[in-house]
Amino acid sequence: MRMQRNTGFVGAILALVLLAIPAIATLFDIFTGPDSPRAEGIARTPVLESGIGRFAADTRFYIKQRYAVKDQFIALNGMVKTEIFSSMPYTSVISGAGGFLFLGDDEAIHYHQRISPFSKEELTAWRRHFIAVTKRLKQKGIRYHVLVAPNKHDVYAEKLPLWVNHRVHKQSRLQQIFSVLSGSSVEITYPLEAILTAIENFPDATPFFRTDTHWNEFGAGIAVAELLRDLQVPFEGNIRPVNYSPDKAGDLARMIGLQEWILDDGWTLPNELLTATCVMDNGTPFLGRQTDPLRFKSVRCSGGKANGLKALIFMDSFGVGMVPSLGSAFEEAIFVWGYKLDEALVDQVQPDFVIQQLVERKLQTLSAGNLFGEL
């Protein structure tokens, strides 16, 4: 009994010491006051004079934004759970073999396990929308094309825990779409086989970041080569990986608090394939070689191939890795962040190609109306 009491006492003292470290460090911020330049735009220092309600809200926001050594404690929590207890501190991240991390939310897992296929009505809606948009843009002299980025779970299925690879139905939602569009004029590029072949040809390179949800510029370049082949747009040069070291690990590492603590390899393409100059909507240059994708409304690329062709690309976060290579394949390319096809923008830009890109798992949660609106 005495040992249990002593153990509890020691644990309480240790907890107080751990709490004291950030508390003491945070005093430096408190002493400066809410109107100090450092506090401005970061977090208002809580003061009782503001009232109990405001004080509580300010305290919560203050701890979230400025609690000293918070990031270090998050990282420590991540290291203890992953290295000592072999568990993930965040349930939406799955640890795989070879240092690979995977997205573990319901959307990704349910899609990979083929838990809920499209209903007949949903498939009818997808077919109707795809065919209608293809026909409508063709009447305007514009070629419409869809690029579906494969899920990391399918590219590296052998790295996943065995339970994740258990599948309920034979067909994926994308395979269902292919079935109902058979014989139609709708064009879809799905570069999974090309990416798997590249892994065999370049066993030291990874087309997806190990610690990120997304493909890197090498993996995106493989997809771009497949897309251009399907579009019959001439493509010169060889897709081969070029190694670099990212500044930090990817978004999955960030989710478990270890983005600054673990390393990841980056793979891009040779410079001769990345010739375009790309500028974001805020006027700043687009910088490639990202782990966490950049956020922007649009990117405009010029100075690529002098082929007189213009492309308008509607994209999700997987499109960021494609900007350097796909932007270099046309004389002008405009990337717009968003799933929904904006036909008013299409009429304004008057491109030769409209490309809609989305990652495959989004078929689990998106409807045809999300991409095209109501017919």
Q: List all residues 6 or more positions away from 90 whose beta carbon is below 8 Å from its beta carbon.
A: 255, 256, 257
What pLDDT is attached to residue 354?
98
What pLDDT is attached to residue 59?
73
8 A C-beta contact, residue 340 and residue 362: no
Judged against a pLDDT cut of 70, whether residue 80 lies above it is answered with no
What pLDDT is attached to residue 128?
96
Instruction: Please tell me which of 90-99, 258-267, 340-349 the model is most confident about, judged by mean pLDDT.
Output: 340-349
8 A C-beta contact, residue 372 and residue 326: no
Judged against a pLDDT cut of 80, whether residue 81 lies above it is answered with no
Give the global pTM.
Answer: 0.79
Distances (CA, A) of 372 to 279, 356, 367: 27, 10, 9
What pLDDT is attached to residue 36?
40
Closest CA to 313 of 139, 146, 92, 66: 146
Q: List all residues 6 or more positions away from 66 whose beta carbon is below 8 Å from its beta carbon.
A: 26, 29, 39, 42, 43
**Rounded to whole angstroms, how far apart are CA atoms 162 and 211?**
19
Judged against a pLDDT cut of 50, whether residue 304 lies above it is answered with yes
Judged against a pLDDT cut of 80, whether residue 341 lies above it is answered with yes
Judged against a pLDDT cut of 50, whether residue 4 lies above it is answered with no
Helix, strand, coil abundance in the chain, percent, nearest 5: 45, 15, 40
8 A C-beta contact, residue 257 and residue 75: yes
What pLDDT is attached to residue 258?
83
Greatest Cα pair distance in the chain: 85
What pLDDT is attached to residue 257?
84
What pLDDT is attached to residue 31?
47
Q: If 0-12 CB within 10 Å is exposed, 13-18 middle and 19+ buried, where does residue 322 land?
A: buried
pLDDT in tens, 11-67: 666 655 655 655 555 555 544 444 443 343 455 667 777 777 777 777 777 666 655
Higher-pLDDT residue of 63 and 3 is: 63
Mean pLDDT of 242-252: 93
Higher-pLDDT residue of 351 and 36 is: 351
8 A C-beta contact, residue 139 and residue 180: no
Q: Given the DSSP bridges, would you call strands 332-337 and 298-302 parallel, antiparallel or unpaired? A: antiparallel
Higher-pLDDT residue of 69 and 171 is: 171
Mean pLDDT of 315-324: 96
286-307 burial, b at 16+ Cβ within 10 Å, e below that, comes to bebebbbbeebebbbbeebbee
Q: List all residues 6 or more positions away from 270 whose beta carbon is below 8 Å from its beta carbon.
A: 237, 238, 240, 242
Judged against a pLDDT cut of 50, whether residue 113 lies above it is answered with yes
* Cα 207 from chain centre: 14
**Rounded to whole angstroms, how far apart are CA atoms 241 and 238?**
10
What pLDDT is attached to residue 34?
44
In degrees, rounded to 5, the angle at the alpha carbon of residue 310 between the alpha carbons of residues 307 and 316 is: 130
What pLDDT is attached to residue 39?
40
Q: Give the three-state DSSP class for 188.
A: strand
Higher-pLDDT residue of 27 and 145 is: 145
Instruction: Please tell me which of 6-15, 81-90, 360-369 the model is most confident about, judged by mean pLDDT.
Output: 360-369
DSSP per-residue letters across 259-270: TTTS---EEE--
Position 320, amino acid: V
What pLDDT is attached to residue 121?
97
Q: Sketch the domain layout of the chain as residue ranges.
A: 2-68, 101-372
What pLDDT is attached to residue 5?
47
Mean pLDDT of the chain: 85
pLDDT in tens, 183-228: 999 999 999 999 999 999 999 999 999 999 999 999 999 999 999 9
Beta bridge partners of 358: 148
